[in-house]
């Protein structure tokens, strides 16, 4: 039996832009809903760490906007969540569907890699599989041998090879505590804020270079794909390198989130945004 958890939040004005519900907020709500599912049906993240010496870290996320939904379309956002364990415990996928009024506004998957905790005081960890005793907490229907969708890995080479590059730019940022988790590593939902700022700056600054570029600020995001490579830490300085492409008559923004460390460019994450 596939178990689900249900929750809801008021449709607060701050959840929305004039175009759609914020990407960042959906990412945060979605991972929170999955954490609630774990607490309700298996084990809380706190007890996973304390009792099993294990944890999970976010490796990526896919967010698909489905039906248009604006602030006046409903007063409550409902979240329905479930989990899938892939490849015998190598990866856990938390899936959340968002509805508001009569609309299914989005569907999100967050991908989490199990890790084994090292030093409990530093939360140091190394990659591993979900422990057998944790796997035993999942139902048989919650396991899958079907490969999960790695859209960044699939799409980035095709877009860069076949697409028309119409603009590129860079957007610097610095990591402060509002963007951190409990271990002073960056929280993955902040990627949406950094790449969104880079996209909007590029769209405005180079709007006259191509007629489609202004869509980077004037139309909603349709799909948001994230692949995390390595963490940022408190007070790290980074920048987003953004390239805009026309591919298959659609506008895409490909973002590399980078830092300069020990003289080398370090890649921390890749995000692909497909516009409506």
- pLDDT tens for each residue of the chain, 276 residues long: 789 999 999 999 999 999 999 999 999 999 999 999 999 999 999 999 999 999 999 999 999 999 999 999 999 999 999 999 998 899 999 999 999 999 999 999 999 999 998 665 445 677 889 999 999 999 999 999 888 889 999 999 999 999 999 999 999 999 999 999 998 999 999 999 999 999 999 999 999 999 999 999 999 999 999 999 999 999 999 999 999 999 999 999 999 999 976 567 899 999 999 999
CA distances from 211 to 166, 206, 216, 253, 272 (A): 10, 10, 11, 15, 20
Fold designation for 152-275: Thiol Ester Dehydrase; Chain A (3.10.129)
pLDDT at 120: 54
Give SS3 for 108. Answer: strand
Half-sphere exposure of 123 (CA within 13 A, CB side): 12
Length of the chain: 276
Cα 20 from Cα 227, distance rounded (Å): 23
Considering only CA atoms, which of 172, 182, 180, 198 is closest in space to residue 253? Answer: 198
**CATH top class, domain 5-148:** alpha beta
In whole angstroms, what separates CA 218 from the centre of its chain?
A: 22
Cα 89 from Cα 103, distance rounded (Å): 34
Helix residue spans in the chain (DSSP H): 23-41, 45-52, 132-135, 151-162, 190-205, 215-218
Give SS3 for 74. Answer: coil
Q: How many C-beta atoms lie closer than 10 Å to residue 200's C-beta?
A: 14
Q: How many C-beta atoms lie closer than 10 Å to residue 101's C-beta?
A: 15
5-148 shares its CATH topology with 152-275? yes
Domain residue spans of the chain: 5-148, 152-275
Q: Report yes or no: 172 and 241 within 8 Å, Cβ to Cβ.
A: no
The structure tokens listed for 232 are 């940022």
Give SS3 for 225. Answer: strand
Considering only CA atoms, which of 184, 179, 223 is closest in space to residue 26? Answer: 223
């Amino acid at each position: 039996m596939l178990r689900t958890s249900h929750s809801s939040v008021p449709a607060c004005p701050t959840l929305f832009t004039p175009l759609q519900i914020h990407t960042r907020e959906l990412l945060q709500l979605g991972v929170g809903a999955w954490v609630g599912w774990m607490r309700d049906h298996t084990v809380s993240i706190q007890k996973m760490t304390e009792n099993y010496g294990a944890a999970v870290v976010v490796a990526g996320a896919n967010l698909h906007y489905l039906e248009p939904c604006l602030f006046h379309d409903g007063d409550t956002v409902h979240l329905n969540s479930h989990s899938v364990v892939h490849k015998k415990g190598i990866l856990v996928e938390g899936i959340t569907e968002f509805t508001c009024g009569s609309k299914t506004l989005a569907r999100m998957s967050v991908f989490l890699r199990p890790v084994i905790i090292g030093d409990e005081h530093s939360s140091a960890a190394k990659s591993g599989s979900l422990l057998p005793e944790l796997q035993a907490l999942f139902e048989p229907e919650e396991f899958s041998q079907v490969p999960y969708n790695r859209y960044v890995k699939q799409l980035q080479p095709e877009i860069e090879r076949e697409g028309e590059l119409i603009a590129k730019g860079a957007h610097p940022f610095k990591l402060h505590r509002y963007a951190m988790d409990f271990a002073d590593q960056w929280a993955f939902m902040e990627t949406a804020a950094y790449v969104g700022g880079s996209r909007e700056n590029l769209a405005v600054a180079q709007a006259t270079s191509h007629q489609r570029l202004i869509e980077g600020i004037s139309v909603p995001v349709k799909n948001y794909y994230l692949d995390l490579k390595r963490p940022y830490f408190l007070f790290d300085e980074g920048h987003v390198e953004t390239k805009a492409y026309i591919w298959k008559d659609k506008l895409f923004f490909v973002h590399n989130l980078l830092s300069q460390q020990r003289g080398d460019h370090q890649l921390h994450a890749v995000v692909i945004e497909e516009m409506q």
